[in-house]
Structure formats: structure tokens, C-alpha cells
Structure 1
Amino acid sequence: MADRSLPPSFRRFWVSAAAADVADGIRAGVLLLIAAAVSEDAFSVALIAACQRGA
């Protein structure tokens, strides 16, 4: 039976893509927490969230 495992280059690609997705999620959460800590205006925080989603 032939070896059907994925090549190491694909594994590296998959791990790097997963790490980038996790980092994007962390960035999204932290940016809003920083905005909320700096500003007491809810509209400003919501505007930053909307701009973040649009980018």
C-alpha cells in the first residue's frame, strides 16, 4: 500500500495558516480591549470594531 501522508511542506503551510488565524483573533480582541480602556465613549469603541471588520 502506498504512503498517502501529506508532505512536510503542506504541514508547515497548514500550521502557519492556523497560527495566523489565531493571531488575527487575538489582535481583534486585544484591540477592542485597548480601545475600551483608553476611551469611555461607546461609539468610539464601536467605530473601531466596525473599521476592524471592514479591513
Structure 2
Amino acid sequence: MSFALYMIGFLIFLAGLIWGASVAGVPTLYIGIGTLVVLGIGIFSAVGRTRGKDPS
């Protein structure tokens, strides 16, 4: 799976979380902080899953 495809799916997932948090009444500051943390985790996992294996 390509990095771009993984990130598009993750961004759609993140948008759903943000929307749900705003509907639930979570303050904007906490939504922003949570978004940055989850986005960082998403980038780390996308790089780890799409990175090619190093030759021996």
C-alpha cells in the first residue's frame, strides 16, 4: 500500500474523530492538541508500514 493512500485513509478517519469531538462539545484547544498527537502517530505508522525493507 502506498504512503499517500495510507495517509488519505488516515486523514478521513481523523476528520471523523474531529467532527465527533466537536459535536460532543470538546473545547477547540483540546481538539487541536489531540489532532496533532493522532496525526503524528498516523505519520509514524504510515512510514513504518510503507517503508521498503533494507537489503541485508
- Cα 1:31–1:40 change in 2 (3 A) is closer
- Aligned identity (percent) is 12
The runs of at least 4 consecutive aligned structure 1 residues that moved more than 3 Å come to 16-22
Normalising by structure 2, what TM-score? 0.50
Q: Which has the higher contact order (CA 8 A, sep 6+)?
A: 2
The residue number in structure 2 matching 1:38 is: 24
Q: CA deviation at 1:42?
A: 1.0
Structure 2 residues not aligned, in runs of 5+: 42-56
State whether structure 2 residue 36 is matched by structure 1 residue 50. Answer: yes
- Cα 1:39–1:20 change in 2 (3 A) is same
Cα RMSD (Å) = 2.0
Of the two, which has the highest radius of gyration? 1
